[in-house]
Amino acid sequence: MNYVLPVGDFLMAGEASSNVKKILNQLGIPPRIVKRTAVAMYEAELNAVIHAYGGRAEVEITKDFIVVEVIDDGPGIPDIELAMTEGYSTAPDEIREMGFGAGMGLPNIKRNADEFSIESEVGKGTRVRIVVYFNR
Amino acid sequence: MKVEEIVKILDAEILTSGHDPGLEIMHACGSDLMSDVMAYVEENVLLLTGLVSPQVIRTAEMMDIRVICFVRGKNVTPSVIDMARERGITLLVTRHPMFIACGMLYSAGLRGKGVRD
């Protein structure tokens, strides 16, 4: 499944994650696993909308796991280690005023995912890959 | 604690019709920072917040939060109320500010468990 993430429309962010959550619930995946997947994907989706003004999400669901890739053509992350630090954020003020951008996003994705990887190139974009297993 | 009881304690108004009056709330979390809600809240809680954006409803949706109470008598737009109703989330609004609302619920026995240290 492929989703286009809204360009710069912060208020609409989350549609893709919401849709994936519904599908996992319909498949009868345990609620705790569904919640972890939804939170990880939602954080990644928000990041793409906040920092890269949109992007896309590619989702693959098998009987044992789900793979979510959130890909953007945004400005990229110069220092991934720094970006992974809790509390570090480059989100603009208007995003913080809406209750986000506290520098918890990437660490929270990692915490909720069974496998997590991030690749980024300055000026090219960022790709976040999340895998969650259904039976662990 | 039942939602009806929370409504009574906070002298709150219910914004969404068709909610489950018997829904039991075990814990509560007061925050305007949705980043923290997503990073620290572990169990299904009542969320008290002063934020009224659609992303509050989204955060609740992802976190399996079933009841949100807006504090300080915030005006909530019909589109936010509709969004919550579609997701089976009950919305309340109280005129009390955050600190007072949390204090009233704490005094009545609600606790903040279910939140990661």
Per-residue pLDDT of B15-42, as tens digits, reads 998 777 778 898 999 999 998 899 888 7
Which domains are present in chain A? Answer: 2-133 (3.30.565.10)
Across B61-81, average pLDDT: 95
* pLDDT computed for residue B117 by the predictor: 53
Per-residue pLDDT of A61-85, as tens digits, reads 999 999 999 999 999 999 999 999 9
* pLDDT computed for residue A119 by the predictor: 96
Q: Which residue has the higher pLDDT, A11 or A28?
A: A28
Reported as a pLDDT band with limits 50, 70 and 90, residue B112 is confident
Q: Assess contact for B67 and B93: CB atoms under 8 A.
A: no
Helix H or strand E segment including B45: strand B45-49
Reported as a pLDDT band with limits 50, 70 and 90, residue B46 is very high
Single-letter residue type at B68? I
**Cα separation, B30 vs B10, whole angstroms:** 14
A100 in contact with B, Cβ within 8 Å: yes
How many CA atoms are closer than 13 Å to the CA of A43, on its beta-carbon side? 30
Q: Three-state DSSP class for B49? A: strand
User: Which phi and psi angles does B3 have, rounded to 5°?
Assistant: -55, -40
Whether residue B114 is predicted with pLDDT greater than 60 in this model: the reply is no
* pLDDT computed for residue A116 by the predictor: 97
Q: What is the ipTM of this complex?
A: 0.88
CA angle B14, B91, B21 (to 5 degrees): 60
> Packing angle between helix A15-26 and helix A31-52, nearest 10 degrees?
160
B34 min Cα distance to partner chain A (Å): 5
Residues of chain B found within 8 Å of residue A14, distances taken between Cβ atoms? 55, 58, 61-62
**Cα separation, A69 vs A59, whole angstroms:** 6
**Cα separation, B102 vs A91, whole angstroms:** 29
A104 in contact with B, Cβ within 8 Å: yes
First to last CA, chain A: 24
Across A28-38, average pLDDT: 95
Q: Which residue has the higher pLDDT, A136 or B86?
A: B86
A30 in contact with B, Cβ within 8 Å: no
Percent residues over pLDDT 70 in chain A: 99
Q: According to the CATH classification, is domain B3-107 in 3.40.120.10?
A: no
Task: Mean pLDDT check: name the lowest of A57-66, B14-23, B74-83.
Answer: B14-23
A17 in contact with B, Cβ within 8 Å: yes
Strands A125-133 and A65-72: antiparallel
User: In chain B, where are the structural domains located?
Assistant: 3-107
Reported as a pLDDT band with limits 50, 70 and 90, residue B58 is very high
